[in-house]
A and B are shown apart, each in its own frame.
Chain A
Amino acid sequence: ETGVTQSPTHLIKTRGQQVTLRCSSQSGHNTVSWYQQALGQGPQFIFQYYREEENGRGNFPPRFSGLQFPNYSSELNVNALELDDSALYLCASRPTGGGSYNEQFFGPGTRLTVL
């Protein structure tokens, strides 16, 4: 059973640019969530995808968008980058059904720096 992987590991962008972060879910998991973790803070929920549909969203503007693919890999896209978008971006996957009885498993994260 493979774990959750994310790419790239690190990324540097400038204000106003767009970025795409990628996540490959753990085998057998069809629910993926994305989180933003600022330095010294706990992760903040961005959104969740289940069977390629967004089924939950946190308090993030529409310039944060996502996709989930049939193979359960997913993307997080951020448009018009701002300095405050600098953070560690984490994806987490849960098993089929994504019910409350299932643990979340996190990837290693992508460190985004916006200059």
Chain B
Amino acid sequence: KQEVTQIPAALSVPEGENLVLNCSFTDSAIYNLQWFRQDPGKGLTSLLLIQSSQREQTSGRLNASLDKSSGRSTLYIAASQPGDSATYLCAVYHLSGTYKYIFGTGTRLKVLA
């Protein structure tokens, strides 16, 4: 059974710091991994999608890496800003009876001005 874990559950950092969010999954047979941002009470905004054949993806200050063999992905945020405060979720696209996305419980990030 595929399980997705995100560490830490919560993180509070001063503005300007570079930070790393971690996502681990138990079954390496994934098709892709997607990182999302969620603001309180809102829907999910897609940040980065990494295909299983890729090692990393970059968008602006965000960089996501994928190591399928070890079941890990990291989201690197450079020069954090107060506007980055949100919950960050990772999801793996996995075949488990049916194709579906399995989400972690998220990392709540607060960037202090």
Contact = CB atoms under 8 A, between A and B. Distances in A.
Which secondary structure dominates chain B's binding surface?
Answer: strand
A82 B45 CA distance: 29
A42 B93 contact: no
A66 interface: no
B93 A100 contact: yes
Interface in B4-42: 4, 31-32, 34, 36, 41-42
Contact of B46 (A56, A90, A105): A105
A107 B44 CA distance: 7
Contacts of B109: none
Interface size band for B: 20 to 34
Interface string A95-115: 000001101111111010000
A17 to B, nearest CB: 23
B101 A45 contact: yes
B71 interface: no
Interface residues of A, number: 28
A103 B100 contact: no
Q: Which 4 A-B pairs rank lowest in CB-CB distance, beginning with the nearest?
A: A56-B98, A42-B103, A100-B31, A106-B44
23 contacts: A33-B101, A42-B4, A42-B91, A42-B103, A42-B106, A43-B44, A43-B91, A43-B101, A44-B103, A45-B101, A48-B98, A57-B98, A92-B101, A100-B99, A103-B46, A103-B49, A104-B34, A106-B43, A106-B44, A106-B46, A108-B42, A108-B43, A109-B41
